[in-house]
Amino acid sequence: MEQFTKRFRNTPIFGMIHLAGMNPVNQALEEIKIYETLGIDGVIIENYHGELRDVKDTLNRLEFRSSSLEVGVNILPNEWSDAFVLAHEHNASFIQVDYVAGSYYAKKIVNSFLFDRMRNDYPRITVLGGVWPKYHEPVSGSNLNKDIYEGMKLVDAIVVTGEETGKETPIRKIKEFRRIIGNEYPLIIGDGLNFDNAFEQLMICDGAIVGSAFKPNNNREEPNTKEPVDASLVKRFMEIVYHVREEKILMM
Query: pLDDT of 129-165, one tens digit each?
Result: 999 999 899 999 999 999 999 999 999 999 999 887 7
> Given this model, what pLDDT does residue 189 score?
98
Measure Cα distances from 233 to 34, 94, 229 in Å: 11, 25, 8
Full-model pTM: 0.95
Distance from chain centroid for Cα 112: 20
Query: For residue range 170-195, what is the model confidence (pLDDT) as tens digits?
Result: 999 999 999 999 999 999 999 999 99
Distance from chain centroid for Cα 123: 19
Nearest Cα residue to 94 out of 42, 154, 28: 42
Q: Is the pLDDT of residue 1 over 70?
A: no
What distance in Å separates the CA atoms of residue 202 and residue 245, rounded to the nearest whole number?
Answer: 9
- For domain 2-251, give the CATH number: 3.20.20.70
> Given this model, what pLDDT does residue 219 score?
61
Domain boundaries, the chain: 2-251
